Amino acid sequence: MRRPREVRPQVARRFRSAAPGGRTVYLVHPGALAATVYEGLAETLPNGAGLTVLDLGAVPEYADAALTGGRAATTVEALADRLLAAMEPADGVRTLAGWSFGGVLALAMVRAMPAALRPERLVLLDSIAPTEEYKQPDDALEPGLLLGWFAMYLGAKRGRAVDLAPDALAGCDADGGLTVVLDAAVAAGALLPDTPLPGLRKLYDTYVDGLLRNNRLTAPHRPEPAPLPLVLVKAERSLIPGDATLGWPPLAPHGLTLHTCPGDHYTMLGRSDSLDVIAPLLHTS
Amino acid sequence: MAVVTALEAEQWLIEKIAHRLGVATDEVSREVYFDELDLDSTEALILAGELENWLGFELSTTTLWYHPTVKELASYLAEESTHRATAA
């Protein structure tokens, strides 16, 4: 057997270099979507600004856990240290941001940084706070909830929104709900018409294992309050639509500013109208 | 559970990949790496699920990683299929 190809990307992926003395945005990306989703953000940032994505897809102990049952042999703190080590030495102004679970890691990175190197603020992109009130046991993640998120994810992956009626997944188990998602995805052109249900089931199981991995990493994590102001950008179709703060106030003794952008949890990273909201928040001092 | 030969597995894989890519079967090389085909991760996982259904046993999601061409994967599948049929 030939050895597997080494196609794993670098942890720190520079999408654009900052001009000398310019601001570099470091954005923690926990996978699910390819890191190339940030190409649009790199183009939307003002001239002179840089963008480096810290891609957890390049950290084997994290990324491979979604393919092997959803249990990562690491911790939030260890991952934060790994990402900090991947950052370049500070040579200009920096903004730190994190999308989704990346926000949890970004906060842990801030706590682990020497005070002199900390950015002025932390920008959280539709990230749920790792507080006790917002942690959920695995079995609280019911199929109806997960399938709705999965449809959102699938639509973002394929560039075609997979719209479901509000109660389409009510009371569905995973198999029944996947049939509903499959029909909607085929109708939207997100999947080929003859996509088999077992194939979609494999994709769904891997997606859920990625969520469970993050849930299990968050469970034992005990975050300290942020030593800097927090900025939360929530998607209009967030993972928790009815919750304005996603649980961050107890971790924000230096202030929490709230913003909303168009799109859902996934499409917020690529839509130009959403990036028009996000880019200034990443760049403004 | 039927035993699958390497040739049958190769033919199955090439047909499915060609269909998903919208190309003729003779355009899918048995030796090209999966990641060199225009098959994204979504399609690859869907293919893996369809493959499990055809074979009648579960595959690790990393199988395509460790057997990264049609030829190598087909060979592994034939071996695994024989092993499981013998053990059953």
- A180 with A194, same domain: the answer is yes
- A66 with A204, same domain: the answer is no
| Overall average pLDDT of the A7-32 stretch | 91
Domain count, chain A: 2
Residue A68: give the domain boundaries.
12-135+219-283
- A257 with A170, same domain: the answer is no
- A143 with A256, same domain: the answer is no
Is residue A269 one of the residues assigned to a domain? yes
- A121 with A157, same domain: the answer is no
pLDDT, tens digit, for every residue of A55-71? 999 999 999 888 888 89
Enumerate the H helices of chain B as residue ranges: 6-21, 41-55, 63-66, 70-87
- A107 with A154, same domain: the answer is no
Is residue A3 one of the residues assigned to a domain? no
- A229 with A177, same domain: the answer is no
Output phi, psi for B5, to 5 deg. -85, 165
Q: Which of A212, A229, A254 is the last residue of a domain?
A: A212
- A113 with A154, same domain: the answer is no
The fold of B6-87 is 1.10.1200
Say what the pLDDT of residue B66 is: 86
Question: Strands of A122-125's sheet, edge to edge?
Answer: A12-16, A50-55, A24-29, A94-99, A122-125, A230-237, A256-264
- A179 with A126, same domain: the answer is no
Q: Which of A171, A195, A212 is the last residue of a domain?
A: A212
Question: CATH number for the domain including A20?
Answer: 3.40.50.1820
Is residue A42 one of the residues assigned to a domain? yes
pLDDT, tens digit, for every residue of A111-131? 999 988 899 999 999 999 999
Question: What ipTM was assigned to the predicted interfaces of this complex?
Answer: 0.82
For residue B47, give the chain A residue with the closest CA.
A199
Q: Is A201's CB within 8 Å of B67's CB?
A: no
For residue A193, give the chain B residue with the closest CA.
B20
Residue A157 near chain B (CB below 8 Å)? yes
Q: Model pTM?
A: 0.90
* DSSP calls for A189-224: TSS-TT--HHHHHHHHHHHHHHHHHHHHHHTT--PP
The minimum CA-CA distance between B88 and chain A, rounded to whole Å, is 23
Q: Which of A212, A240, A274 is the last residue of a domain?
A: A212
Taking 60 as the threshold, does the pLDDT of residue A4 lie above it?
no
| A92 — pLDDT class (breaks 50, 70, 90) | confident
- A169 with A226, same domain: the answer is no
Taking 90 as the threshold, does the pLDDT of residue B35 lie above it?
no
Residue B76 near chain A (CB below 8 Å)? yes
Nearest Cβ partner for B66 among A4, A195, A200: A4
Say what the pLDDT of residue A1 is: 44
Say what the pLDDT of residue B64 is: 83
Q: Which of B20, B38, B61, B67 to mutate to test the interface with A (most CBs of A within 10 A)?
A: B61
Residue A237 near chain B (CB below 8 Å)? no
